[in-house]
């Protein structure tokens, strides 16, 4: 019975891992437009205990001005954000939804890494199930 539960968990982990990997690839892949953005502030998360920080950028795309924070928050000291107000940087944005953008070299594709974690968990559960057989 334990083997069946482990194998069911492995199947779930494989499916969720593939789902998250595809979601991350699709999300980052849809950001094909390029723009030059100016850092207009540093966002500080009110939720994170040790401080979550992200640059707030402003850029023009598709005839509109976009002002939003980066997808990825870095925790710890403010020094973890390698940009200061007034800095210029390159962003890649989704032409269909310019508010969806990434900062190459800064943003992390966390969904893709969650998918890899799911596949690793599936491997561990599968090995455990085989050992118990």
Report pLDDT for 50: 63
| Average pLDDT over every residue of 24-53 | 81
- Report pTM: 0.68
Quick check: 89 and 83 in contact, CB under 8 A? yes
Instruction: Indicate the SS3 state at residue 33.
Output: strand
- Alpha carbons within 13 A on the beta-carbon side of 18: 6
Confidence grade of residue 52 (pLDDT, cut at 50, 70, 90): confident
CA distance linking residue 33 with residue 39, whole number of Å: 18
| Average pLDDT over every residue of 103-117 | 79
Confidence grade of residue 78 (pLDDT, cut at 50, 70, 90): very low
Flag the least confident range among 35-39, 90-94, 113-117.
113-117
37 strand-pairing partners:
89
Residue 79 has pLDDT above 60, yes or no: no
CA distance linking residue 102 with residue 23, whole number of Å: 15
């Amino acid at each position: 019975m334990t083997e069946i539960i482990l194998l069911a968990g492995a199947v779930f982990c494989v499916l969720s891992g593939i789902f998250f990997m595809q979601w991350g690839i699709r999300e980052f892949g849809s950001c094909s437009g390029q723009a030059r953005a100016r850092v207009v502030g540093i966002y500080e998360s009110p939720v994170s205990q040790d401080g979550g920080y992200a640059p707030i950028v402003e850029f023009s795309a598709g005839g509109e001005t976009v002002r939003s924070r980066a997808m990825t928050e870095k925790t710890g000291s403010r020094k973890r954000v390698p940009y200061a107000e007034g800095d210029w940087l390159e962003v890649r944005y989704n032409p269909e939804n310019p508010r969806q953008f990434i900062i190459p070299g800064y943003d992390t594709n966390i969904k893709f890494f969650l998918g890899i974690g799911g596949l690793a968990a599936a491997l561990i559960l599968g090995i455990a199930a085989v050992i118990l057989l």
